[in-house]
Amino acid sequence: MVLELNRSELHPDPIEQLKRWLRIAKESVNPEPTAMTLATVDAEGRPATRVVLLKEIASEGLVFFTNYESDKARQLDHNPWCALNFFWPETDRQAGFRGRVAKITRAESEAYFSTRPRDHQIGAWTSAQSRPVADRAELESRQSAIEQRFASGEIPCPPHWGGFRIAPEEAWFWQRRPGRLHDRFRYTMLPGRTWRIERLNP
C-alpha cells in the first residue's frame, strides 16, 4: 500500500503531528520508535551525530537524557542549537526538528531517573561517557564498586546526569512516494508561536 501525506491531514502544531506519527510507529514492528539522531556542533564547528531516545514529548519541547559531561552535552553547552531526525522504515516516514536546547530542572531529572531500571541507574554512575577507558575490565570494576556502594536502598540521580529539552523552531515531515516524488512539509515558527506550513519539493 502506498501512503501519502496531504496538507489537510497535518496538525497545525508539529509537536502534535509528531505524537500522531509516534503512535503509528509504536503500533508497527519498529523495535525502537523513539530513537532519534541528534546532531550537534563542537567548538571548532565540526558536526557530530549519535542516536538518543526521546523520553518526553510536550508542548514545551522534546526531552532526552544523558551524561552532562559527555561530548554531546559539552557541545550543547557551547552551542545550544541542534537538529533531530526520526526514521521509521516500517511506515516509510521521517521527521526532523531544529531548535535550541536547555537543561531541564534537577527535580525533573531526578523524577525520571527514579523510574529507570536499577541496572540503568548503575550504568549512569559507572560510565564516564565519552572519556577513554583502558579496557572492559576497568569498566566492569567500576560497575562492581557502584553496585557495592548502593547495595542497599535507592540509587540517587548522579549530579552529572540529566535531561535536555529541545524547543523546536522548525520541523519537517516526510512520506515516501513512488518515483522519488515524496511528500514533504516544513513547519516554521512565526511570532506568537504560530506555525507556517509549506509543501517542499522532495
Which entry of 180, 184, 193, 199 is annotated as an active-site residue? 180
Residue 162's alpha-carbon distances to 48, 64, 104, in angstroms, are: 20, 8, 7
- The rounded distance, in Å, linking the Cα atoms of 168 and 29 is 28
DSSP structural state of residue 12: S
Question: Is 46 annotated as catalytic?
Answer: no
Tell me the three state secondary structure of residue 64. Answer: strand
The helix (run of H) or strand (run of E) holding residue 140 is helix 136-149
- The rounded distance, in Å, linking the Cα atoms of 26 and 105 is 28
Instruction: Compute the residue count for the chain.
Output: 202
Which residues are known catalytic residues?
Answer: 180
